Amino acid sequence: MKLHYPNGKKYTPIAEQTKNTSKKKHNYGNRGMTLEEDINVTNQFYLEIGKAVIHKKPTPVQIVQVNYPKRSAAVIKEAYFKQASTTDYNGVYRGKYIDFEAKETKSSTSFPLNNFHDHQINHMMLVEKQMGICFVLIRFSSTDEIFYLEAEKLIKFWHRMNQGGRKSITKEELATHGHPISLGFQPRIDYIKVIDYLYHFD
């Protein structure tokens, strides 16, 4: 398969483009990896040691036109990015359903709630009702601080905004209501440690 990179630029998923473009050059020991990359290697590590089976869902795409060249693979010639109706990551840990979304912000003081869509919040509410383990991972890219915030608490901040309150969660609120995760080597972002603590699995 030939790879065409127009203008010599590598294709970057749309989800990444809308985020902080400076995040690929951290100087805090995470070797220039995006939050998504860090989570992918974490999930890969969990998979390899048999700890959990958690995957990122494929990017949803609306396919419009496909060519079928003779003796070659089908080529998608026209397609569009669709808004995800669920969160990006899900899987299983000790029989339990795990579901989460990961977001980063370049703000150093608060996390803007417009990083989430109504659809995603709605999905999280449904998963909560169904007793799944649901949360978000939030990274402040300027300082590499990562917080695990339970969906239940995110939803409360979401309601506060909808009732005319602030449109973001301050870092202090995240420190109070969430759980900081320090970057490690293997796994990079050990979010299951927080799950073990919250649900008394350890």
Q: Contact positions toward a second copy, by CB under 8 A? A: 1, 3-6, 11, 13-14, 47, 50, 52-53, 55, 57-67, 73-82, 85-86, 90-99, 123, 126-127, 129-132
**Closest distance between a second copy and the C-beta of residue 120, in Å?**
13
Q: How far is the CB of 88 from a second copy (least distance, A)?
A: 11
Q: Which of 149, 53, 124 is nearest to 94 (CA)?
A: 53
Nearer to a second copy, 27 or 62 (CB): 62
C-alpha–C-alpha distance, residues 93 and 90, integer Å: 10
**Closest distance to a second copy from the beta carbon of 171 (Å):** 31
How many other CB atoms are found less than 10 A from the CB of residue 142? Answer: 17
Which residue type sits at 148?
Y
Residue (74 or 114) nearer to a second copy, CB: 74
CA angle (53 as vertex; 49, 59 as ends), nearest 5: 130
Report DSSP state, residue 70.
Answer: T
DSSP string, 6-63: GGGPPP--HHHHTS-GGGGS--SSSTT--HHHHHHHHHHHHHHTTS-EEEEPPPPEEE
For residue 134, the minimal CB distance to a second copy (Å) is: 9
Minimum Å distance from CB 36 to a second copy? 15
Q: Which is nearer to a second copy, 77 or 156 (CB)?
A: 77
CB-side neighbour CA atoms (13 Å) of 79: 12
Q: Looking at beta carbons only, is 109 or 130 nearer to a second copy?
A: 130
